[in-house]
Amino acid sequence: MGAKNRTEKAGQAARSVTTNPYVKRILEDEELRDNIRDAFEAAKNAYGRMSNGKGPATALMDDRKLQRDLKEAAESLRDASQQLRGKRQRGGFGLGKALLVAIVGAVLVLIVSEDARRMVLDKLFGAEEEFEYTSTTTPAPDTESVGSSQ
């Protein structure tokens, strides 16, 4: 009776593993598997560097390769945990970047194109009125010409 119970429990455990969403995601997502593998390799390398005979504190403070391996392991584990939770890494072209590109583009157009500047100024301050100035006064007589005629 004990063997039957163990077999049943093993069967239930196998069935629960196949229905687990985390296991499904690991099986389906190659990038997630790569992140887990990278984290494992980096952690293994870091452990090998820490157990080289020096104390762990000395190795952590002095060994740059150990620090790099630990950082790589942490980043890979962070990426893997985000993927397991369904959060994709931010990448690509976000709204902030698109807005920045649009503003820079608009400024460049205004710098380069005189027609665009004129159009923007007309929209902001109204159309410029063309006028021609004519003087309503007569020119004053020259003092030299008045003195020489006498």
Q: Answer yes or no: are the C-beta atoms of 26 and 36 closer than 8 Å.
A: yes
76 and 15 in a common domain: yes
Regarding whether 21 and 68 lie in a shared domain, the answer is: yes
Ranking 12-16, 55-59, 75-79 by mean pLDDT, the lowest is 55-59
In the block, residue with structure tokens 């990448």: 91
Residue 143, domain member (yes or no) = no
Report whether pLDDT(90) > 80: no
Q: Is 50 domain-assigned? A: yes
pTM of the model: 0.47
Residue 141: per-residue pLDDT: 73
29 shares its domain with 75: yes
The reply to whether 4 falls in a domain is no
Q: What does the pLDDT read at residue 143? A: 65
Q: Are residues 37 and 99 in the same domain?
A: no
Confidence of residue 147 (pLDDT cuts 50, 70, 90): low
136 occurs within a structural domain: no
- What does the pLDDT read at residue 149? 52
Q: Are residues 14 and 75 in the same domain?
A: yes
**Domain end position, chosen among 63, 84, 105:** 84
Per-residue model confidence (pLDDT) at position 30:
87
Give the total number of structural domains in the chain. 2
- Three-state SS across the chain? CHHHHHHHHHHHHHHHHHHCHHHHHHHHCHHHHHHHHHHHHHHHHHHHHHCCCCCHHHHHHHCHHHHHHHHHHHHHHHHHHHHHCCCCCCCCCCHHHHHHHHHHHHHHHHHHCHHHHHHHHHHHHCCCCCCCCCCCCCCCCCHHHHHHCC
Domain carrying residue 36: 10-84
Tell me the per-residue pLDDT of 100-117, one tens digit each, with 9 for 90 and over. 888 888 888 888 888 888
